[in-house]
Structure 1
Amino acid sequence: MQITSSVSISVTAGMQMQSPPPILELNNVEVIYDSVSLAIKGVSLEVPQGGMVALLGANGAGKSTTLKSISGLLRPERGKVSRGEVRFMGQNIDALAPQERVKLGIVHVLEGRRVFEHLTPDENLIAASAVRGNRQDMLRNKDMVYSYFKRLYQRRTAQSGYLSGGEQQMLAIGRALMTQPKLLMLDEPSLGLAPFLVAEIFEIVQRINKQEGLSVLLVEQNAVAALEVVSHGYLIENGRIVMHDSAEAMKKNPDIQEFYLGGAEGRNFHEIKHYRRRKRWLT
């Protein structure tokens, strides 16, 4: 009896220690445009339930295309997933239209702070709430957005076209939150913003992630800011994932430091005769 009890306890403990399945999985995804141009090549990544993950890379590396393969926004640009699969909460969503993916809980904040400039922030948030929920949900979600983005509350009756770049980015994220998402995808939220605004927005997103349990996939060129708030990161180059590690490990990686964190500043490479700017993952 004691042996059986011991085995039972061990099995139960093992089951309790198992981590939940990831909320998002990309398995060997390839995207092709116009049936000719291969944009991303065998991309695989995961976002854990309630996790915050960064996808880093230079301009044109394939970051935005990866997000569009998840949100379903490839078709208007004559693109499609030609290989692999995108799974959300265990479900293959490749065949779903963008609006169906939003209903499942995926929201994509596009690059460029796209808001209705002729409407006030309050009206922008109300318009976004039409996607999901009733009036009671709208009021509750709006209060939640204003509790995180206090600047927006102060400017809630101003015309959105007159907001600063940082305020418009906050509004774009706030609009996304009105859809009651399970996965928030942000495409270059730091673009064109002053460093203090980037720090403020990323700190708020980090709080939303922790307090609301919202999973976040953050696409960024600004590796310095991104690696301060995420737990893990992926690095994409030329449409391929070339590195995946914890944020701390990536910050310490000499190649990441040199090519993405500005670690090469102050070195005079003209004085180093045999120096070659070649990343270790390319050898």
Structure 2
Amino acid sequence: MHETAQATSPETARPLLELGNVEVVYDKVFLAIKGVSLRIEPGQMVALLGSNGAGKSTTLKSISGLLAPERGLVTRGEIRFDGIDLLPLPPPQRVASGLVHVLEGRRIFGHLTPEDNLMAAYATRGSRQRYQELKEQVFTYFPRLKERARTKAGYLSGGEQQMLAIGRALMTEPKLIMLDEPSLGLSPLLVQEIFGIIREINRDRGTSVLLVEQNAAAALGVVDYAYLLENGHVVMSGEARVMRENPDVQEFYLGGAGKVDYLNVKHYRRRKRWLA
């Protein structure tokens, strides 16, 4: 576990982020997440794991305030960030409070250069000097972006676009970065590189990270703590080391080394149903 996470005791300090029994409904009908509770300490790296449709992205959007365009609404529970009730705040105020959401699919401005993308993310109230300092920090973490700073971002590789999306998030000077499927579509070597840089950012800046991933093996190799979602519920949580060693997590989320007996489907389903 990183020093930043070790320095914080959940019993003695206020969490940076806390979700209490949060429910989200889409179109006033579909219940997407059902009583999700989690917490992140200052400087901690946390993963939110689960299969497609488990509610991982919905959980992030409930925190960043990006549910409304998809006709989603938090109908129950509370979300507090650094002691502030987030639910009444619009997305820009949530960013200003210190959290930033890197969406799945990168969502960069493809017609702009990487440098212009970074400038677009920088707060307009900031000084030119501070912008230059932050830009150089981003280029230090991601030297390839500096090499291609004047190329249109749409021509960057998938990995470079993901680096740019993370770099753009850093321009807001966040206390918490939420990353939605940063490994999507990338080679294992590139995933390892990007996750290593995320860990370096966490170590250097003390920035907390909430990482949503289907690639459980990669995520559990970099975070301190993890929550496992199934069908909108948190069914398991624990330190990353403990989660990696759990036989159900190994079987259903870490590949299981081909040990699943698909001829015994009832047994397979029964074990998964009792993950909690």
TM range (shorter): over 0.9
Q: 2:191 aligns with which of 189, 194, 198?
A: 198
Q: What residue is the counterpart of 1:112 in the other structure?
A: 105
Quote how far apart the aligned CAs of 1:130 are. Answer: 3.4
Give the letter for the 1:213 counterpart: G
Q: Distance in 2 between matches of 1:19 and 1:215?
A: 18
Structure 1 position 21 matched with structure 2 position 1:
no
Q: Which shifted more, 121-130 or 103-112?
A: 121-130
- TM-score under structure 1 normalisation? 0.90
Q: What residue is the counterpart of 2:3 in the other structure?
A: none
Q: 2:240 aligns with which of 236, 239, 247?
A: 247
The count of corresponding residues between Structure 1 and Structure 2 is 267
Q: What residue is the counterpart of 1:138 in the other structure?
A: 131
Q: 2:251 aligns with which of 246, 258, 265?
A: 258
Secondary structure, counterpart of 2:256 in structure 1: coil
- TM-score under structure 2 normalisation? 0.92
Q: What residue is the counterpart of 2:269 in the other structure?
A: 277
Quote how far apart the aligned CAs of 1:89 are. Answer: 0.5
Q: 1:219 aligns with which of 201, 212, 220?
A: 212
Q: What residue is the counterpart of 1:235 in the other structure?
A: 228
CA RMSD of aligned residues (A): 1.8
Q: Distance in 1 between matches of 2:29 and 2:267?
A: 37
Structure 1 position 207 matched with structure 2 position 207:
no
Task: Say if 1:164 and 1:242 are closer, same or farther in 2 by CA, change over 3 A.
Answer: same
Give the letter for the 1:276 counterpart: Y
Q: Is the 8 A contact 2:260 2:268 kept in 1?
A: no
Q: Is the 8 A contact 2:104 2:180 kept in 1?
A: yes
Query: Which protein is bigger by CA-based radius of gyration?
Result: 1
Q: Indicate the percent of aligned positions where both proteins have the same amino acid.
A: 63
Quote how far apart the aligned CAs of 1:104 are. Answer: 0.3
Quote how far apart the aligned CAs of 1:266 are. Answer: 4.9
Structure 1 position 64 matched with structure 2 position 71:
no
Q: Which runs of 4+ in 1 moved over 6 A?
A: none
Q: Which runs of 5+ in 1 are unaligned?
A: 1-15
Q: Distance in 2 between matches of 1:216 and 1:86?
A: 16
Secondary structure, counterpart of 1:170 in structure 2: helix
Q: What residue is the counterpart of 1:77 in the other structure?
A: 70
Q: Is the 8 A contact 1:62 1:239 kept in 2?
A: yes
Structure 1 position 155 matched with structure 2 position 182:
no
Q: Which runs of 5+ in 2 are unaligned?
A: 1-8
